[in-house]
Amino acid sequence: MKIAYILNTYPQPSHSFIRREMQALERLGFVIDRIAMRTPDAALVDAGDRDEAARTHYVLGRGAVALLRDLAAEAWRTPRSMAAALALAWRCGGRSEAGRLRHLIYLAEAAHVVRRCAGSGAAHLHAHFGTNAATVAMLAHEMGGPPYSFTVHGPEEFDAPRALSLAPKIERAAFTTAVSSYGRSQLSRLVDHTVWPRIKVVHCGIEPARFADPAPMPEGSLRLVAIGRFVEQKGQMMLVPALQEALEETPDIHLTLIGDGPLRGVIADAITAAGLGDHVTLTGWLDEAGVRTALGASHGLVMPSFAEGLPMVVMEAMAAARPVIATYIAGTPELVENGKTGWLVPAGDASALAQAMVRMAQTPPSDLAHMGSDARARVLERHDVDTEAAKLADHIRRQ
């Protein structure tokens, strides 16, 4: 079966789970046309991402004139469907901060998607995130294109469901997938209960083979890793006062911050101002092998997020047999079991985060290794990418 993945900016360093999902579907026999609106906005350090970029068709790269031709051609071919799609885009644009003009651009992008799918034989569209990629998929279907589905991750979609026209997208979709039961509950709030059976849970997945031989738990003082884009919702700024407080009780803790983003300079300045330069390393983005190496050299992951869906970095740390310190938000408690596979703390509580660091530092390496083993077993049971992709494949085939 041939399908198309509809994406916004792809690939991105933090979206490797999309690549893994598509590759797992391809192992199941699907042929996938990768259609993204925009080229990557960050340097691609991972070879897998560079390969994906070479395989991806970029809609906006065609230029405005070509997209307008596609729009005119579809309006001529199916005027009623185009009128319905135009009315839908106009309504969605009226609710959105992006505005109606942007949604008319989405309409032109959708027209191109329809024509490309007609030429390639793609029988289904699947989008990731409930933002503009899902809008393009919905408009493409409205103007006569293939049925569509989309995966909602959160937290952005949960923050602005009306502005994103999330309810109409769910109602028109063949099905919608959430990455956690928490996510499914939030989507169910938006639509009538008769739509609930079409809201599925399909977890993001990891490739167990890439974590086949976890490094042994290191000896020595506590080494923590935090991984993520440096933005407000990831909460990395909380690590500065938390680490300061933890060092008062456990003076030799080292934290490695992997990632980059708008707040990098602010975070670096805060580390310097707090006198934590000897205790924190900023690496920038690393490729997947580099992340696995950093996890293997650590005792555990710390994730201080204020808002999440269900973080891939937690899954990867657990697959590497490392316990996790995480905030008690969204879908995270579905994976991290407090006191068994890690520690859960209230979001925004630097003292609670500090005390969790101290508890991890005071836990013997053998006990940390046992927690890591439990974490690994749990994530492999719940988040094997081939198992989860098979669920998605079944939903697509049944629509």
Please report the pLDDT score of residue 63 as a whole number: 96
Contact call for residues 3 and 125 (beta carbons, < 8 A):
yes
Q: How far apart, in whole angstroms, are the C-alpha atoms of residue 267 and residue 265? A: 5
* Torsion angle (degrees, nearest 10) of CA 110, 112, 115, 121: -80
Q: Which helix (H) or strand (E) holds 283?
A: strand 280-284
Q: Which residues of the chain have pLDDT under 70?
A: none
Residues 6+ apart with CB under 8 A from 339: none
Contact call for residues 350 and 242 (beta carbons, < 8 A):
yes
Q: How far apart, in whole angstroms, are the C-alpha atoms of residue 187 and residue 165? A: 12
Instruction: Specify burial of residue 53 (Cβ count, 10 A radius: 0-12, 13-18, 19+).
Output: middle
Which residue from 151, 103, 160 is spatially nearest to 130, judged by alpha carbons? 151
User: What is the crossing angle of helices 239-249 and 350-362, to 10°?
Assistant: 40
Q: Do the domains spanning 2-205+384-398 and 211-382 agree at the CATH topology level? A: yes
Please report the pLDDT score of residue 13 as a whole number: 79
Level-2 CATH architecture, domain 2-205+384-398:
3-Layer(aba) Sandwich (3.40)
For 211-382, CATH number out of 3.40.190.10, 3.40.50.2000, 3.30.390.50, 3.30.365.10 equals 3.40.50.2000
Q: How far apart, in whole angstroms, are the C-alpha atoms of residue 184 and residue 177? A: 8
Could you count the other beta carbons within 10 Å of the beta carbon of residue 263?
A: 17
Q: Where are the domains of the chain?
A: 2-205+384-398, 211-382
